Structure 1
Amino acid sequence: MKTWLLASVATLGLMVASGASAQDATDNMKKLQGMQSTGTSMDFRTVEQTGEYADQLKKNLENINLPDGFKIELYAVVPDARHIAVGPQGVATFVGTRKQNVWVVTDRDKNRVGDEVKEFAPSIEFAIPNGVCFSKDGFLYIAEQNRVLVLPAAEFFYESPDVAVGVVVDQGELVPTSEESFNHTARVCRIGPDDRLYISLGQPYNVPPAEKLDLYNKEGIGGIISMNRDGSDRKVYATGVRNSVGMQFNPDDGKLWFTDNQVDGMGDDIPPGELNMASKAGENFGFPYYGGGDVRTEEFKSEEIPADVVMPQVEMAAHAADLGMDFYGADSFPAKYQGGIFSAQHGSWNRTEPVGARIMFTPLTEEGTAGETEVFADGWLTDSGEYLGRPVDVAVMKDGSMLVSDDLAGALYRISYDK
């Protein structure tokens, strides 16, 4: 009886604490939207940037192979570092995670190394805030698993625990709550040349059941959606996408390019990963009829393929897990790389001999299509098959250098070129 009573009291305590936490989070959001202080402590959670851990990460970088003239250095220790949003004023860099934190990295002395890494907006309770992206006029968007927030003047308010915040998509309305899953939860976002917000929505399954397709196509799950920056006028931009965790608009012609992770369990060498180009709204990129490239899935091999399916611009190595990408629009790197695409391969669990853990480069032709993809940086995957790191995203800095995030090591690296 005593054991049962103690267990019941403990359970009740957890329920009360959970309820209080949820209420606190709701109260904080209301206060922040009313430009009121929440009383959150100024004692920020920060990340140590020196010591044995940082020293070992620097040593690991000695294994990285780069073209002549390039070098890679540790920019900052950032736990669980995923997608990167470089502030348009160059004041700070914001880093999403698949956990509960968004980190903000500041290089205060401008020596091209992050001096301070601290928790961003601790008065807000985030849930898988992987997708971070800026508008040109300084609004930071955070795409969570099932909510989208906007934070005006994030490069100003990051010094405080309280921030100006607006809700673009309410909790539970980015995808139907019935389709919330533990799988493929990392959203990414971009602001398009039409000043609309674009968000990729990975679908929960390896290959979804046929009865889910109508719902998913209607909601944009397994696709890319767009909306006005205030959340209105939501539309499905692209379908037939399994789980895109990287996209960017070509600054030259405004077309949207995106990576896609393909079907597991089909073998080491199939299906290929993808780098795609969307020329207009309404295109279908073939999933789940294709598992990747032109490889048919077992589940849908007898089904008729939708008309006018758009095939990938580049077929990448199978199960390399192509994630974040960015166009190189600066001029610090040699001319060969200017206007091309850098993309990160994270490496997949679904391969007997792992591949990936590297940065790829894809040039563009004069017609705006993909040239031949090549390895730009590798060495995070050792000859014995051990990961020293797993790149997730790339982002071009204002000085023309490039950041690479690594969620295994928990770090940002900076790649620069010595002319």
Structure 2
Amino acid sequence: METTKGTGLLSDEANVSEGLRNVLMTGQATNAANRSDRTERHAGGIIERHRRRIHRRLRSLAFSALVLAAAGSRDANAAPLPSVPPGFALSVLTDQVPGAREIALGPPGVLFIGTMGAGQVYAVRFDPAAPKPVAKVTTIASDLEAPAGVAYHNGDLFISATTRIMVLRNIAEHLDEPPKPEVLIDHLPWRSGDHDWKFIAFGPDRRLYIPIGSPCNVCDIGHAFGKLMRAEADGSHLEDVAYGLRNSVGFTWQPQGNGSFPIFLTDNGRDWLGDDIPSDELNRVDHVGQDFGFPHCHQGDIADPKFGAGHPCSGYTPPIVKLGAHVAALGLRFYDGTALPEPLRGSLIVAEHGSWNRSTPSGYRVVAVTIRDGKPTGQQDVLFNGLSGRTPLARPADVQPLPDGSILISDELYGRLYRLSWQGR
């Protein structure tokens, strides 16, 4: 597969922290009682499901048309690689995962990839110790509604869809003959609109966390939408965790010295208030019931012009980091390895999917947010730049550190899995 090394394309002072620059310079829902596939309760349900699918396909085609106009081609083999900082190398593990979204680590040498428009879930097998690993991609589930989220837990693969959570039992033993998805949770909150794709993950409490996005750009939907939920691994005891979240498509945990495990999550800010506000957010959930302000307050200090009256921002939890307007921050993971330069160790790696309606594009990159003792220092380093002028070269959706210290990056635009590694001089 094609490989590129950092060539100084990201050498802008604003993109590299003092510590990293020194290293570079020196060369260093409701639980379903039955587990069978749901039979639609009435004909209207069938019609609505097809309407949602058509809406999603049209949305995907609209973005594809924009990219075709800008780049002239969607051929992944011809697409240039995004740029990375000096000392890093970027390679393509596979370009056979169209619509790639969340990445879940399975057994050694196995990855699971959720998708959006493709409606499929993939298993990717490779030898992580090989100098140039060759990936084998297998489709393990098809014809699902936006199966963007995947989580591997106790041998089973959990998959999100627009209104349900499904599971493939004992999947590692059946990669070539996967079982039929079993419905675990059905009738998750849904209303015609948007933001119904779901990043999912198991927390340190061994419960499955599920976001419920707002069905709109901005609207007052109470606590029915715009929240984070969780359930037991068997689908029982579905409950709310946090509120005021417009569209959270990534979260992770980090243990603290006091024994707590706060949730760090991204949230995409509303549109149509201008190019530069509001910012996407990095939020920290410390206790059940926290409210981060949507739709009344944005980025912790901007009252919504329609819904903000009577709801001062002081009544909500502000973000710990403002990630930038319209960058579309999605998946994130803490980097706990030691292969990267010391300034990046322990940082929060965040995928920025990229803006769609900003006059000057923003995002389309992967950044490292420096976190120390559970708090941001204010430093961000760009590790992967998927913009060439105004032309997108990638739309990062998720990141996943590997045991060898490299970082996987899923690209929804070209259906690629990138592998970012530190090479030194």
Report the TM-score range of the alignment, normalised by the length of the smaller protein: 0.7 to 0.9
Query: Helix, strand or coil: the match of 1:374?
Result: strand
Instruction: Return the letter of the residue paired with 2:380.
Output: E
Partner of 1:372: 378
Partner of 1:262: 269
Instruction: Return the letter of the residue paired with 1:415.
Output: L
Partner of 1:16: none
> What is the Cα deviation at residue 364 of structure 1?
1.2
> What is the Cα deviation at residue 157 of structure 1?
1.5
Deviations 1:65-100 (A, max 9, x none): 32x32111111111111111111x223111111131
Unaligned regions of 5+ residues in structure 1, if any? 1-23, 28-51
Deviations 1:149-177 (A, max 9, x none): 122322222121435x543202xx1115x
Q: Give distance in 1, aligned partners of 2:274 and 2:311.
A: 24
1:149 maps to which of 166, 169, 186: 166
Tell me if the contact between 2:300 and 2:316 (Cα under 8 Å) persists in the aligned partners: no
Q: Give distance in 2, aligned partners of 1:272 and 1:306.
A: 15
- Structure showing greater relative contact order (alpha-carbon pairs closer than 8 Å, 6 or more residues apart): 2
Tell me if the contact between 2:168 and 2:179 (Cα under 8 Å) persists in the aligned partners: no
Query: Helix, strand or coil: the match of 2:179?
Result: coil
1:287 maps to which of 294, 298, 321: 294
> Within the alignment, does 1:227 sit opposite 2:252 as a pair?
no
Query: Helix, strand or coil: the match of 2:354?
Result: coil
Deviations 1:359-405 (A, max 9, x none): 11111123x1112242322432122x111111111011122211001
2:240 maps to which of 236, 240, 243: 236
Pairs within 5 Å for 1:271-286? 271-286=278-293
Residues 305 and 86 of structure 1: CA distance in aligned 2, closer, same or farther (over 3 Å):
same
Residues 378 and 402 of structure 1: CA distance in aligned 2, closer, same or farther (over 3 Å):
closer
Partner of 1:6: none
Partner of 2:10: none
Runs of 4+ in 1 over 3 A off after TM superposition: 24-27, 52-55, 305-308
Tell me if the contact between 2:100 and 2:416 (Cα under 8 Å) persists in the aligned partners: yes
Partner of 1:85: 104
Q: Give distance in 2, aligned partners of 1:140 and 1:288.
A: 33
Alignment TM-score, normalising by the size of structure 2: 0.77
Tell me if the contact between 2:168 and 2:178 (Cα under 8 Å) persists in the aligned partners: no
> Within the alignment, does 1:64 sit opposite 2:83 as a pair?
yes
Tell me if the contact between 2:301 and 2:313 (Cα under 8 Å) persists in the aligned partners: no
Q: Give distance in 2, aligned partners of 1:93 and 1:167.
A: 22
Partner of 2:71: none
Residues 369 and 230 of structure 1: CA distance in aligned 2, closer, same or farther (over 3 Å):
same
Select between 111-120 and 194-203 the one with higher mean Cα deviation: 111-120
Instruction: Return the letter of the residue paired with 1:115.
Output: A
Query: Helix, strand or coil: the match of 1:83?
Result: strand
> What is the Cα deviation at residue 108 of structure 1?
4.8
Q: Give distance in 2, aligned partners of 1:378 and 1:307.
A: 35
Deviations 1:4-52 (A, max 9, x none): xxxxxxxxxxxxxxxxxxxx9779xxxxxxxxxxxxxxxxxxxxxxxx9
Q: Point out the structure with the larger strand share.
A: 2
Residues 361 and 142 of structure 1: CA distance in aligned 2, closer, same or farther (over 3 Å):
same
2:408 maps to which of 403, 407, 417: 403
Tell me if the contact between 1:389 and 1:409 (Cα under 8 Å) persists in the aligned partners: yes
Identity across matched positions, percent: 33
2:323 maps to which of 307, 316, 327: 316
Tell me if the contact between 1:121 and 1:160 (Cα under 8 Å) persists in the aligned partners: no
Instruction: Return the letter of the residue paired with 1:249.
Output: W
Tell me if the contact between 1:74 and 1:113 (Cα under 8 Å) persists in the aligned partners: no
Query: Helix, strand or coil: the match of 2:363?
Result: coil
Tell me if the contact between 1:324 and 1:344 (Cα under 8 Å) persists in the aligned partners: yes
Pairs within 5 Å for 1:379-390? 379-383=385-389, 385-390=390-395
Q: Give distance in 2, aligned partners of 1:341 and 1:306.
A: 26
Aligned length: 349
Unaligned regions of 5+ residues in structure 2, if any? 1-35, 40-73
RMSD: 2.2
Q: Give distance in 1, aligned partners of 2:405 and 2:129.
A: 14
1:117 maps to which of 125, 137, 145: 137
Tell me if the contact between 2:351 and 2:397 (Cα under 8 Å) persists in the aligned partners: yes
2:148 maps to which of 96, 105, 130: 130
Query: Helix, strand or coil: the match of 1:336?
Result: helix
> What is the Cα deviation at residue 267 of structure 1?
0.3
